[in-house]
């Protein structure tokens, strides 16, 4: 196993950080690494908001379920899908109202571009001895976050990211068996339930150990509970108001 693969397979989400600052040079390096991620047709359809204002961080923290690390982490970034910049580029040459901009395909491209760039940033930060945690719950109040960050039309916040030096070692959550996610030539449904049940036992053992026997649960139960209640049902209307086709 080489050092790159060792780094990739040692990821753990960090939610408690030391007071050691992240320098501007280090942040620049992390963002540079993000920018070298693959991008569909070179569109680079994402933007990153570095939130330094304490009041803004506090508001976002409240909107994300009072997650203290949104306030306390040395660096807090919000990653946005961004088709607004493409509209500006189009406008240089002709009326952008003619552009097929907010299509479902372009929206997929923008979200994938943002995710690829963010993961490059995460790996870069971890290679520097830092830790990160993604904050998907910025979408709990997607319109509020968008207004707070003054996002223009054809953009949307996707997720946040806390970065800093770890002040904890929470361990790694086991991943699904590779057989459950890797298919050959065609999608394989045979044996899927068996793989899930196998993973359920792995997760049950992990939760029991991590909580000292205080809690027990399985992955399939968690997924059932997650899908049992609708969440963030306002996202579709928000995206449509931003000029993005999500039909």
pLDDT tens digit string along 43-72?
999 999 999 999 999 999 999 999 999 999
Same domain, yes or no: 84 and 145: yes
Q: Is the residue at 226 inside a domain?
A: no
Give the chain's mean pLDDT.
Answer: 96
Read off the pLDDT of each residue in 192-212 and give the average, rounded to a whole number.
Answer: 94
Same domain, yes or no: 75 and 7: yes
pLDDT band at 210 (very low <50, low <70, confident <90, very high): confident
User: Of 134, 128, 135, whose CA–CA distance to 165 is shortest?
Assistant: 128
Same domain, yes or no: 97 and 210: no
User: Of 210, 202, 150, whose CA–CA distance to 174 is shortest?
Assistant: 202
pLDDT tens digit string along 18-45?
999 999 999 999 999 999 999 999 999 9
Q: Is the residue at 149 inside a domain?
A: yes
CATH no. for residue 101? 3.40.109.10
pLDDT tens digit string along 88-138?
999 999 999 999 999 999 999 999 999 999 999 999 999 999 999 999 999
Per-residue three-class SS string for 151-215: CCCCEEEEEEEEEECECCCCCCCCCCCHHHHCCCCCCCCCCHHHHHHHHHHHHHHHHHHHCCCCC
Domain extent at residue 125: 3-171+234-241
The rounded distance, in Å, linking the Cα atoms of 80 and 143 is: 13
Same domain, yes or no: 198 and 163: no
The pLDDT assigned to 86 comes to: 97
Q: What's the pTM value of the predicted model, to 2 decimals?
A: 0.95
Q: Is the residue at 155 inside a domain?
A: yes
pLDDT above 70: percentage of residues in the chain: 99
Cα radius of gyration rounded to whole Å, the chain: 20
pLDDT tens digit string along 235-247?
999 999 999 876 5
pLDDT at 10 over 80: yes
Same domain, yes or no: 156 and 47: yes
Same domain, yes or no: 151 and 63: yes
Same domain, yes or no: 67 and 107: yes
DSSP, collapsed to helix, strand or coil, labels residue 77 as strand
Read off the pLDDT of each residue in 153-167 and give the average, rounded to a whole number.
Answer: 98
pLDDT tens digit string along 64-96?
999 999 999 999 999 999 999 999 999 999 999
């Amino acid at each position: 196993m080489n050092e790159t693969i060792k780094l990739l397979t040692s990821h753990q989400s960090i939610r408690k950080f030391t007071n050691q600052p992240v320098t501007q040079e280090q942040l620049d390096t992390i963002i540079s690494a993000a920018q070298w991620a693959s991008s569909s047709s070179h569109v680079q359809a994402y933007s990153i908001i570095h939130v330094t204002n304490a009041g803004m961080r506090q508001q976002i923290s409240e909107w994300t379920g009072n997650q203290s690390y949104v306030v306390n982490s040395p660096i807090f970034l919000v990653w946005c899908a961004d088709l607004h910049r493409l509209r500006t580029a189009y406008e240089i040459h002709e009326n952008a109202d003619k552009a097929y901009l907010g299509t479902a395909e372009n929206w997929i491209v923008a979200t994938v571009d943002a995710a690829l760039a963010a993961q490059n940033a995460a790996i870069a930060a971890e290679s520097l001895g830092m830790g990160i945690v993604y904050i998907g719950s910025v979408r709990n109040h997607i319109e509020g976050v968008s207004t707070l960050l003054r996002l223009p039309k054809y953009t949307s916040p996707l997720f946040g990211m806390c970065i800093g030096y770890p002040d904890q070692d929470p361990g790694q959550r086991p991943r699904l068996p590779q057989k459950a996610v890797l298919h050959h030539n065609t999608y394989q449904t045979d044996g899927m339930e068996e793989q899930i049940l196998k993973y359920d036992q792995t997760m049950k053992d992990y939760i029991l150990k991590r909580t000292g026997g205080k809690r027990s649960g399985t992955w399939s139960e968690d997924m059932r509970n997650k899908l049992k209640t609708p969440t963030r049902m306002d996202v579709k209307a928000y995206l449509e108001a931003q000029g993005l086709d999500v039909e």
